[in-house]
Amino acid sequence: MKKTLKVLDLFAGGGGFSTGFLQVNQNQPDYKFEITKAVEIDPAACDTLRGHLGVDKVIQGDITCSSVKEEIYKSCADIDVIIGGPPCQTFSLAGPARSGTKEMREKLKNDPRNTLYKHFFEIVDKLEPDFVVFENVEGMLSKKVEEVGLKGKQVQVIELICDELGSKGYTTNIENSILDRFQVLNAADFGVPQHRKRIIIIANRLGLDNPNIKPTHGGKRVPYNTVKAIRHLPLRLPEISLPKNLKNIDVLKSNYKKILELFMKKIGDLAINEADADNKLRLEKLYQRLNVEFVSIVGKRNYKIQGLKRFLNLYNELIIEYGINNFEEDQLLTNHQSRVHNFRDVIIFIETKPGSNSSRFMNTKSDDYNELLDYLYPYDKSKHKDTYVKHCWDKPSNTILAHMEKDGLKFIHPDQPRTLTPYEAQLLQSFPNDYVFHGGRNDQYRQIGNAVPPKLAAVIGESILETKKLKKMIKEDKSELKEYAQV
C-alpha cells in the first residue's frame, strides 16, 4: 500500500500546484500525495478548486484572519507538506512596480500583499511539516530590504526567506552545491509549452540536502514543447467592434481599401487551410457573403466609416448564423471563445508576422518593419513598444500572465486574428484538457496566469518523494547496521 503524504496548498489560486502534485501519484509505486486543504481568498478560484478537489477540501478566506488560520490548524495538524506562492506585487517583472508612476510604485510598496509571506511562515512554524515549497516570481531576486539593526545595509528578500526557514529547523541547501539555497526553474525546461521562470525553494526537516532539479527539455535534451500544443483546437473568430472614439481610426479610413483587402485575404486563407470539412464550408460561405459586401463598399470615396461599420456588423451576424464558434459537441471547449476585439487591433493581429512584435514592426531597421502597423500603433511609443506580441507555432509561448484579463495583446494567435482564449492559455500552462476553470473570462485568465504550471509542480513533487525515499533508505541502512553490530 502506498504511503500518503498530506499536502496543504496555501494561496492555491486555480489549483496548478495541487494538480501537479496529484499527477505524481500515477507514476509512484510507494508514495502518493493527498491534498488535505487548499486555501484561497478569490471566490471564482475557490469554485474551480471545489470542482477538482471537492467541497470539503477548500478553505475560502483571508489567510491573515485568525479564524482562517484556526481552521487551517484544526484540519491540518498532521500535514506533511506545505506548498504555496504568496503574492508579492512589487516583485513582478511585468507589473507597474517597474514601469508605473511614482505614486503607483509607492502604493505597491505599501501593498499589504507584500507581507503575506510572513503569514505563510507563521503557518509553517505552527504545523511543522516535513517539507515546505515556496514559489515566487523571478523578480523577487532583485527585491532588497534594509536589514534590521543595520541602517543602510540592504539584504535580498530571497536570502531572508531561506534564513527564516533555516531558523525553523529546515534545510534549504541543494545537493552538489555549496552556496545555492534556491533554484530558478524555467517551465519550458520541463515540458511545459511556455517559457516561465520561477524561484523555487524546497526545504525539509529531514536533515538532507534538497534535490538539484535538472532540466529534461531543450538544448541537446528532448525538444521543447511549443505552441503547437493548441494547434489541434477548433478555429475561433472574434466578434469585431469599431468604437467611435477608437484611437487612430483615421489611419483605418485613409487605408480603407488596403485594410479591407487584408481582412478578406485572412478570411480566405483561413478557409483554404481549415482541415475540418464542416467548418471549411462555413468559412467559405462567410468569405463569399462578405465578398459581396466588400465589392459594394470598397470603391466608395465617402462614408467610409459607415461602410466599414456595416461590413463588420454583417461579419458579426454571419459568424453567429453559420455557427463558426459553436462548441456544443464538446462542453470542454466552453472556455475556448475569443474576446471581442476592435478592428484596428484585428488588422494589427493579421499583419504582424508570427514570432514578431510591435517593437519590431515599428523599427525601420528591422526586417519586420511595417509602415501601416507603425501608423496604426495606438500607444505612447516612448514608453511602450512591445504591447503587441504574436506567437509562432515552433517555439514555446511567452510567460502566460494574469494581465491577460486586461487585453491579451501580448498573446496573439499565430494564425487566427485574435488573442488566446482561456482554454488555449490553460493548455499552454500544461493544465489537463478536462480541467475546468470557473468564473467569467477575466476570472479564468487571472487564475490561469497566476498558476504554477502543473507539469512543473509535478517535477517538484517527484523531487520531494526522492528525498523521502532517500531518508527511508538511510533509516533502513542504519537499522541494518545496528542489528549487524548486535550480532
Question: In this predicted model, what pLDDT tens digit does every residue of 216-228 receive, in sequence order?
Answer: 999 999 999 999 9
418 closest CA partner among 431, 403, 407 = 407
pLDDT value at position 146?
62
Residue 148 has pLDDT above 70, yes or no: no
Q: Is the pLDDT of residue 95 over 50?
A: no
Q: What's the CA gap between 53 and 47, in Å, rounded?
A: 10
Q: What pLDDT shows up at residue 149?
A: 53
Provide the mean pLDDT of the chain. 90
Residue 86: its pLDDT value, please? Answer: 87
Phi-psi region of 15 (alpha: psi -120 to 50; beta: other; left: phi over 0): left
Nearest to 455 by CA among 129, 52, 20: 20
Query: Are 69 and 122 a contacting pair, CB within 8 Å?
Result: yes
Of 253, 317, 259, nearest to 289 by C-alpha is 317
Given a cut of 70, is residue 79 above it in pLDDT?
Answer: yes
Pick 12 or 480 by higher pLDDT.
Answer: 12
Res 329: pLDDT: 64
Tell me the pLDDT tens digit for each residue of 376-403: 999 999 887 889 999 999 999 999 999 9
Amino acid at 162: C
Catalytic residue ranges:
88
- Is the pLDDT at 334 greater than 90? The verdict is no
What is the per-residue pLDDT for 328? Answer: 63
| Model confidence band, residue 94 (pLDDT cutoffs 50, 70, 90) | very low
Domains of the chain from N-terminus onward: 3-226+451-477 (3.40.50.150), 232-392 (no CATH)
What value does the mean pLDDT take over residues 191-197? 98
With a cut of 70, say whether residue 475 has pLDDT above it: no
* pLDDT tens-digit series, residues 237-277: 999 999 999 999 999 999 999 999 999 999 999 999 999 99
Kindly state the percentage of the chain with pLDDT values over 70: 89
